[in-house]
Amino acid sequence: MITTTSQAVRVRGLRKAYGDVTAVDALDLDVDHGEVVALLGPNGAGKTTTVEILEGYRHRDSGEVGVLGADPGRPEPGWRDRIGIVLQTSGGLDELTVDELVRHFRVYYPAPRDPDEVIAAVGLESKRRARARHLSGGQRRRLDVALGILGSPDLLFLDEPTTGFDPEARREFWSLISSLADGGTTIILTTHYLDEAEQLADRVGIITAGHILAMDSPARIGGRDRDDVVVRWLDEGEPHSATTDRPTALVTDLAARFGGEVPGLSVDRPTLEDVYLRLIGHDTRPDTQHDTGTGGHVDERPDDRSDGPTLEATR
Amino acid sequence: MSRTTASAHERSTATPSPDRTKPSTLRIAVARTILETRIYFRERDSVVFSFLFPVVLLGLFATVFGGGETVFGEATGGGVDFARYFLPGMVAAGIMLVSFQTLAIGIAVERDEGTLKRLRGTPMPPAAYFLGKVGMVLLTGLAQVALLLAVAAVAFDVPLPGDAGSWLRFAWVYLLGTAAGTVLGLAYSSVPSSARSASAVVLAPVLILQFISGVFFVFNDLPSWLQNVASVFPLKWLAQGMRSVFLPDRLEPMEVSGSWQLAPTALILSVWLVAGLLLCARTFRWGRKGDS
C-alpha cells in the first residue's frame, strides 16, 4: 500500500452525546494495518456510533480520531477511495440488478476490483440479472458486501454484516472475509454473533456504556486463557462435571480412577459468550470462583441439567 | 500507550499512485444520469404518475370537452379548441411532475431507505449526484414533452408553432421552469419524515397547485383571490409562459392581466430558482433526521 502508519485506526478519548445521553465516553481504540477487529456489545452500547464516527458519518464531541491517517470529520481527497463500508441497514436501489449495481458503483473508484470477480466472491453469480428487490435478505447483504469491497479498500467496515443469514450463508461469508483479511485488508466488524467474532477476529473489543471494557484476542479476552475450566465425564452413566483451574491434574486423577479412558470426557474453557456475558455484567456461568490456592481447587458435583454451564441458559 | 508519533500521522497523507486515476465528476454524473433514468422508467409509479399523467389528462380533456366547443370563442373570433388550450397547461404540469414531484418523493425515499447514506460513504462527489438528478429530469422531461406534443399534434390536430421565436421562448421557459422545479424538489425532499409519507406530503401541494394555476381549469374562471394565491407560486407562471408559446397571439388579451407577462415570468421563476438553491444548500441532508 502507498501509505504506512503504525495503525490503521487510532482513537483517543472519543466522546459523543445525543442530548443528555452519552453514547460514547472516553473511548480508546487502536487497530493495526491488516488486523481484523470485532466490536461486541449490547444494543445501545455505542458500537454503531463509534463506527459511524470512524466512517465519517457522525461528528464527535471531542477526542482524537485518525483513520488511515486522516480525520474522518475532515476527510482529505482520496480518503474515501480507501475505505469500504457495509452499513447496518441496507435498502433502496430495488429496481437495479446485481450486475448493474456492481458495474455502476465501480465508476466511483480509482482502482476498482473486477466486477465479475466481486460478484463471484460474494456468491451472487446466479443472481446477476436479478433485481435487488427480488433478492433474499442474505443475498441482499452479500450485495452490500460486494459494493463495500468493490473499491479494494484498505480498510473495510462491516456493521452487523450477517444478521439474517442462514448458517450456510454465514460460513460462506466468513470465508469471504477471511480471504479479504488474508489479502491484507484491515477489517472492523461489529456483530452480535460471538462465534462470528471468534471465527474472524484477531482481536475482540467489548463495548459497554460507550467505552471499551476489554480488548484482546478471542482466546485471551477477559482472562479466558487463565480461567477455570469445566471438565465433564460420565460415572456409571451419570453425568458429572467439575470446575477447575488445573484441568490437567483433574484429568490425570480421573484417568487413574477409571484406569485408562474416562467415559464421556470433555474439557471446556469458558466460551467467548460466557466471558462476554460476565464482562458486561450478566454472569450466568456457575461455579467460577477464583480460588488460586497452590493446590488449585476442584469443585466437583453431579451435573444437574438446570444448573450446568450450558449455552442455552445464557441466550 | 501508542507508539504513534505526530510525524507518522503527517506522513500518512494519502498520495495516490500514478496508476490510480480518479474518475472525473463529469464521468460519474453521466453514469448517474443513465442509472437514474433507468430507475425512473422501471418504477411504475413514476411512469404512470409523472411521465404519462399529463398525456392521459390531455387525452381526457380533449375527449370530454372535444365536441366542437372552443375556449374564448366569442371574445376572439373563433377561439381555440380544448386540446389546444390545455396543451400548454399539461406541458407545465409535466415539467412540475417530472422535476419537483419525482425528485421530492424520490429523494425522500432514498434518504429514508439509506441509499443517500450509502452513496455518501463512497468516493462519489456530491456534485455528481445532483448533476445526475438534473440529467435524469432533463432526459425524462424532454421525452415527456416530445410525447405530449406528438399526441396533441397527431391525435388532436393541435397546431404547433412553426417559428423559431416561439421555440426559443419555449426553450427558456422550459429550462427555467425545470431548473426551478428541480431545486425546489431537492429542497422539498427534506419535508416528508419518512418514505411512507413522502407521496402524500408531496402529492397534496402538487395537486392543489395544478388546480389553481390554470392547468385543469381556464385560469380566468378562478376567483381573483385564488388567482392571487396562485401567482405566488411558479406553476402559474410556467403555465402562462407555455400558453404564450402554444396559443395564438389573438388569445393574449384573454389573459387576466391582458398580457403574456414574459418579463415577470422570467423574474418570478428565477426568484424561485435562487430561493430553492439557497434552501438546498442549507437543508440538504444525506442521512435521516438526527443522523449526525
Of B11, B14, B23, the CB nearest to A68: B14
Distance from the Cα of B39 to chain A's closest Cα (Å) equals 6
- Looking at residue A32, its pLDDT comes to 95
Q: Which residue of chain B comes nearest to A78, CA vs CA?
A: B14
Q: Is residue B111 part of a domain?
A: yes
Q: Do B121 and A93 touch (CB under 8 A)?
A: no
The most confident of the ranges A276-280, A304-308, B87-91 is B87-91
In a domain, B1, yes or no: no
Cβ separation B121–A4 shorter than 8 A: no
- Over residues A263-287, the mean pLDDT reads 80
- Out of A59, A92, A151, the one facing B114 most closely (by C-beta) is A92
Average pLDDT over residues A160-168: 83
CA distance A82 to chain B (A): 9
Q: Which domain holds residue B105?
A: 23-283
Pick from A68, A87, A151: CB nearest B118:
A87
Instruction: Answer whether residue B4 is part of any domain.
Output: no
ipTM at complex level: 0.84
Which homologous superfamily does the CATH classification assign to the domain defined by A9-218? P-loop containing nucleotide triphosphate hydrolases (3.40.50.300)
pLDDT above 90: residue A289: no
Chain B residues lying within 8 Å of A82, measured CB to CB = 14
pLDDT at A143: 93
User: For residue B24, what pLDDT is reported?
Assistant: 93
Q: Where are the domains of chain A?
A: 9-218, 223-304
Under an 8 A CB cutoff, do B2 and A6 touch?
A: yes
DSSP assignment string, B223-274: -HHHHHHHTTSHHHHHHHHHHHHHS-GGGGGGSTTSS--HHHHHHHHHHHHH
Task: Indicate yes or no: CB of A92 within 8 angstroms of CB of B110.
Answer: yes
Q: Do A91 and B28 touch (CB under 8 A)?
A: no
Position A89 confidence tier, pLDDT thresholds 50, 70, 90: confident
- Do A109 and B23 count as a contact with CB atoms less than 8 A apart? yes
**Over its length of 292 residues, how does chain B's per-residue pLDDT go in tens digits?**
343 333 333 333 344 444 457 889 999 999 999 999 999 999 988 888 889 999 999 998 888 876 667 788 777 667 788 889 999 999 999 999 999 999 999 999 999 999 999 999 999 999 999 999 999 999 999 999 999 999 999 999 999 999 999 999 999 999 999 999 999 999 999 999 999 999 999 999 999 999 999 898 888 889 999 999 999 999 999 999 999 999 998 889 889 888 999 999 999 999 999 999 999 999 999 988 767 6
Q: Are A213 and A280 in contact (CB under 8 A)?
A: yes
Distance from CA of A6 to the nearest CA of B (A): 6
| pLDDT band (50, 70, 90) for residue A300 | low
Question: What's the full length of chain B, in residues?
Answer: 292
Domain count across chain B: 1
Q: Please, which residues 7-46 of chain B have a Cβ atom closer than 8 Å to chain A?
A: 8-9, 11-17, 19-23, 27-28, 31, 35, 38-39, 42-43
Q: Is the pLDDT of residue A270 over 90?
A: no
CB-based contact, B113 to chain A, within 8 Å: yes
Inside any domain, residue B8: no
Q: Which of A5, A58, A108 faces B292 most closely, judged by CB atoms? A: A58
**In the predicted model, is pLDDT for residue A251 greater than 70?**
yes
Q: Which three cell numbers stand for residue B149?
A: 406534443
Mean pLDDT of A118-145: 91
Say yes or no for a CB contact (<8 Å) between B35 and A100: yes
Contact A5 B12 (CB under 8 A): yes
Q: Chain A closest CA to B122's CA: distance in Å?
A: 6
> For every residue of chain A, which 3-state class applies, written as one string?
CCCCCCCCEEEEEEEEEECCEEEEEEEEEEECCCCEEEEECCCCCCHHHHHHHHCCCCCCCEEEEEECCECCCCCCCCCHHHEEEECCCCCCCCCCEHHHHHHHHHCCCCCCCCHHHHHHHCCCHHHCCCEHHHCCHHHHHHHHHHHHHCCCCCEEEEECCCCCCCHHHHHHHHHHHHHHHHCCCEEEEECCCHHHHHHHCCEEEEEECCEEEEEECCCCHHHCCCCCEEEEEEECCEEEEEEECCHHHHHHHHHHHHCCCCCCCEEECCCHHHHHHHHCCCCCCCCCCCCCCCCCCEEEEECCCCCCCCCHHHC
Q: Which of B21, B122, B286 to mutate to test the interface with A (most CBs of A within 10 A)?
A: B122
Q: Considering the domain boundaries, does residue B16 fall inside one?
A: no
